[in-house]
Structure 1
Amino acid sequence: MWYAWLEAQRNLMQMLSEWATRAQSGSAPAQSRDSRVAAAGWDWMYRLIQPPLEPPPFAISTIQIAGEEVPVVEQVVDSTPFCALRKFTRALPSAASTTTLRAPVAPEIFLCAPLAGHHAVMLRETVETLLQDGNVYVTDWADARDVPVAAGSFGLDDYVLAIQRFLRTAGSTGLHVVAVCQATGPTLAATALSASAGEAPPRSVTLMGGPIDARLNPTRVDRFAQTHSLDWFRTTVIDTVPPPHPGAGRRVYPGFIQHAAIVAAHPHRQWALESRYWMSLCSGDAQAIARDLRRLNEYAAVLDMAEDYFVDTIRVSFQEHRLACGTWKVGTNPVRPQDLSYAALCTVEGARDDITGAGQTHAAQTLCSAVPAARRQMLTVADCDHYDLFTGPRWQEVIHPALAAFWRAPG
C-alpha cells in the first residue's frame, strides 16, 4: 500500500537530511550569500518530498489590543479521542487605567475548524484576528493515524455530536459561532439539533465558504464527489495506517493524498508561500524566516481522516444533499434548521471561490426560515477565493470588520 511505502521514504529522507545538515555545517561560512542560497535549495527539496510530520503549534503568546501587548493563555478545556477543544483566553489587565481594553464586555467566539485534511492550525491567523474581539474556542481535530483502533470508529454523526458537546462545554448562550468550509454543514446541524431539543442557542451563527447545498453551481470538487461511487473512494483513496503509528490498522483517507491534491489544485498559493520563504532565507532575516516557515508549515499541516467520516461526508453533503433536502438525521434525530429562531445568522462567500460554488453557503438563509430578517446578513466578497475567506487582506480588511459589526448590532 502507498502509506507504508511513503513511510519508508520519509525515514530515508530523514537520514539524508541529517547527513546533509552535517555536510553543510562544514562548508561555506554560515553568513555568506552562497551558503544561504544553498541552504534554501536543500530546504526546498526536502520539504517538497517530506511534508512536516507534525503540525506546528498555535503558539499565540500575545496580541496587540488598543496599542497594548496582551498575553494569551491557551488550554485544552475538553476533548474526545478525535478532537480537542482549545480555548485562547486574553489575560487582560484589571487596572483602572486599562478600562479601554475591558469595556464593553467582550463576547466569546467558537471557531469550528473544518475536518477536510488540514490541521486547525491553518486557521492561526483567523484565531489571532478574532482574539481582538474576545476569547476564542477552536475545535482541533485529531490526525486519525494517531487515534488507536480501540477508541472506536468516527463518522459524520460523531463529528456533529462532538460540536454539540463542545458548545455545551463553552456555554452556548452568548457565543458567536463561526464555521469555516466543510465545518459549516455539521455546525448548522449541531446548532439546529440543540434548538430542536430546547437548548439555549448561541448569539449568532456565521457560516463561511461551505457546501450547505452543493447542488448549486457545482465546482470541480463537487462534480468529482458526485460522479464517483462510494466504493470507488473506498478502493482508490482509502489506505490502512501502518505501524508504528498509534492508529495502526485504522482505515483512513491519508493526509499525503490531501497534500498532493491541495498543491495540484492551488499551485499559485503554494508558490507564493514558497517564494516568500525563499526570499527570507536568502536575505538572512531570522524574523522573516521564522514567520514565513511557520506559514508554510501551517499550510502543509495535513492529517488523515477516518474512513467512515470521509465516506459519510461525500454521501451526505455531496451525493444525497441531505441537509439541503431536509432528510438528514443524526442518529434518530432529524436535522431541522428551521428550528433555529433566536440565533442571528450570517453567511459569507468569496466571489472567486473555486471550492465552494456561488450560493452554496447562502442557501442556509433559506433553510433557517425562522430567523428574523433583522438578524440576518449575507456577504459576498469580491476578488476573494476560498482561502482568502479566513486569511490575508480580504479576511483582515473586509470580512472580519463585517463580522465584528454584525456581532455588535442590536437584536
Structure 2
Amino acid sequence: MYYQLYELNHAALQPARAFADAVKLLYSNPLNPVSHTPMGRSIAAGAEMFERTTRRYAKPGFGITQTKVGFEDVAVSERIVWKKPFCDLIHFERALPKSRKADPKLLIVAPMSGHYATLLRGTVESMIQHAEVYITDWADARMVPTSDGRFDLEDYVDYVIEMLQHLGPDTHVMAVCQPSVPVLAAAAVMEARGDRFAPASMTLMGGPIDTRSNPTAVNKLAEEKGIAWFRDNVIMQVPWPEPGFMRSVYPGFLQLSGFMSMNLDRHIIAHKDFFMHLVKDDGDSAEKHRDFYDEYLAVMDLTAEFYLQTVETVFVNHALPKGEMMHRGEKVDPSAIRNVALLTVEGENDDISGIGQTKAAHDLCKNIPGDMRAHYMQPKVGHYGVFNGSRFRSEIVPRIVDFMASNPGAGKRQRPKPKIVSSKA
C-alpha cells in the first residue's frame, strides 16, 4: 500500500512540477530582463529546487566515449556481451590496434544495493586505462516481469560464475562493497569444483565479509531488528502499471530514504549551497551539484528474496565467516581457494564497512599462498573513496594494476604448489 501511495503522490505532483519547470525557464531566459536580477535568479532557483526534489531520477548512462591508454586517446564503446533477466554484462570496448599486446580481462561486479552500476563510472574510467573492463549492469526489479522468475543471493552467485565462464580463463574480478560476499562465494564454489574458469585474482573493496569486526550503524541495525522486522516493514509489491507489477521488492525510494538519513545534515547543507550558487549565478558549482545528485538520487528496486537473504546471511547470521553459508546445497568453503590471488582494500573512515570487515577474507582463504595475497588500507577516505575519487586514482588503482600483473592466472605462469600459510595479511 505504501508503494501505491508513493506512486500516487508522485503522479499528483506532476502538474506542479511542470509549472515549476516553466517558471524556471521563464526566469532563467536571458531575453527576460528579470533573469539578470537577484530576484529573478531566486525565483528560478526556487522553481528548480522544487522540480528536482520531487522528480523521479532516471537510470543514468555511463557516458564513457574516450580514454587514454599510454599516451594516446582511444575511443570507447559499450557492448552487451552477456544477458539475463536481472543483469546485462557490459564490455567497454577500446579501439586499440590489433597488434597491441592484450591487457588483462577485468570483471567489475557492481553492488546490487539500490544504486545503478553507473555509480562506479569513476572506477571504470580509471581501470579501462589498464584493462579490458566488463561490468555487471543489474536490472531494476520493478522493470522485470514476474514471469521471469525469482532472483536471490544464490542466483547472484550463479550469475557471477556464469559471467566468469563466459569471459574465459585468467579473468580478474573486482567486487565493490556488497558483492564481496557473493564473489568470494563464487570463487570458493568454482575452486571446489575444479572449474578452470575460476578467476586469476579477486579484489574485494570495502566489502562486508565479516560484519562482526568493527560493526557500523548499518550492521548494528540489522542485528538488532532481525530478519522478521525487515520482512514486515520494508518489503512491498510493485504497483501497476510497471512491468514488474506484483513482484515483491525492497523499493528504491525506501533505500534512498535510508541513505540520506545517515548524513541528512550534509544533504541539507548541499541543497542550501546549491540554491545560493544558482542565485549568485555560479554555474560550475551548481552543475557539480546536479551531476552528483542526478546519480545519487537515481535508485532501483531489489527483489525481496535477494534483499532478505542477503541481510540474513551476511548481517544477521554472519554465515560466511562462521563457515555456515550454503550454495545450492553445497557448503561454501573459502579454504578451497588455492589458485585465486586475493587483494583486499579498505578505507580508514569507512562508515558502511568497518575496518577489518574486508580484511577478514584473508583469515577465511587460508590456503592462498602468501605471495598471492595482499591487503591495503587507504588513509583519509570513507566508503565512497575506496572506489572513486583522487586518492582512489592515485593510490589504489596502481596497487590493483600491479597486483593483477603479478597474478596473471594459472594459464599464464607456473605457480608453486599451494600450501597452507599464515592468514595474516
Task: Report the TM-score, using the length of structure 2 for normalisation.
Answer: 0.88
Structure 2 equivalent of residue 17 of structure 1: 17
User: What is the number of equivalent residue pairs in this alignment?
Assistant: 402
2:337 corresponding residue in structure 1: 340
User: Contact conserved, 1:113 with 1:138, CA < 8 A, in 2?
Assistant: yes
Q: Which runs of 5+ in 1 are unaligned?
A: none
Indicate yes or no: 2:254 matched with 1:257: yes
Query: For the residues of structure 2 that align with 1:39 and 1:299, how far apart are their CA atoms?
Result: 23
Match of 1:229, SS state, is helix
Q: Distance in 2 between matches of 1:400 and 1:279?
A: 36
Quick one: which of 35, 39, 47 aligns to 1:42? 47
Match 1:245 to one of 217, 242, 246: 242
Structure 2: how far apart are the matches of 1:33 and 1:75? 47
Partners of 2:176 and 2:205 within 8 A in 1 = yes
Within 5 Å, which residues of 2 pair with 1:170-249? 170-171=167-168, 173-200=169-196, 201-249=198-246
Distance in 1, matches of 2:282 and 2:76, equals 26
Give the match for residue 311 of structure 2. Answer: 314
CA shift for structure 1 position 283: 7.0
Shift of 1:149: 1.1
Q: CA deviation at 1:154?
A: 1.4
> What is the aligned-residue identity percentage?
37
Secondary structure class of the residue paired with 1:76: strand
Change (3 A) 1:320 1:129: same
Pick the aligned partner of 2:126 from 116, 121, 129: 129
Q: CA deviation digits over 1:110-151, x for unaligned, max 9?
A: 101111111111111111111111121111111111111111
Structure 2 counterpart of 1:9, one-letter code? N
Determine the structure 2 residue equivalent to 1:58: 62
Decide whether aligned partners of structure 1 residues 33 and 134 sit closer, same or farther in structure 2, where only a CA change above 3 A counts.
farther
Residue-by-residue CA offset, 1:289-337 (whole Å, 9 max, x unaligned): 6665333211222111111111101111111111111111111122111
Scaled by the length of structure 1, what TM-score is found?
0.91
Asked if the contact 1:273–1:295 (Cα under 8 Å) also holds between the matched residues in 2, the reply is no
* Aligned residue number for residue 89 of structure 1: 93
Whether the 8 Å contact between 1:276 and 1:292 is mirrored in structure 2 is no
SS at match of 1:60: coil
CA distance in 2, matches of 1:311, 1:245: 22
- Which secondary structure does the structure 2 equivalent of 1:366 belong to? helix
CA 199–206 in structure 1, closer or farther in 2 if over 3 Å, else same: same
2:51 corresponds to which letter in structure 1?
Answer: Y
Residues 168/180 of structure 1: CA separation in 2 closer, same or farther (3 Å cut): same
**Offset of 1:274 from its aligned partner?**
4.8
Q: Secondary structure at the match of 2:178?
A: helix
Q: Alpha-carbon deviations, 1:139-176, whole Å to 9, x = none?
A: 111111111111111111111111111111122x2222
In the superposition, relative to structure 1, how do residues 178 and 270 fare at CA in structure 2: closer, same or farther (>3 Å)?
Answer: farther
- Cα separation, 1, equivalents of 2:271 and 2:69: 31
Pick from 384, 389, 397: which aligns with 1:387?
384
| Distance 1:228-1:290 versus aligned 2 partners, 3 A rule | same
Deviates more, 1:277-286 or 1:252-261: 277-286
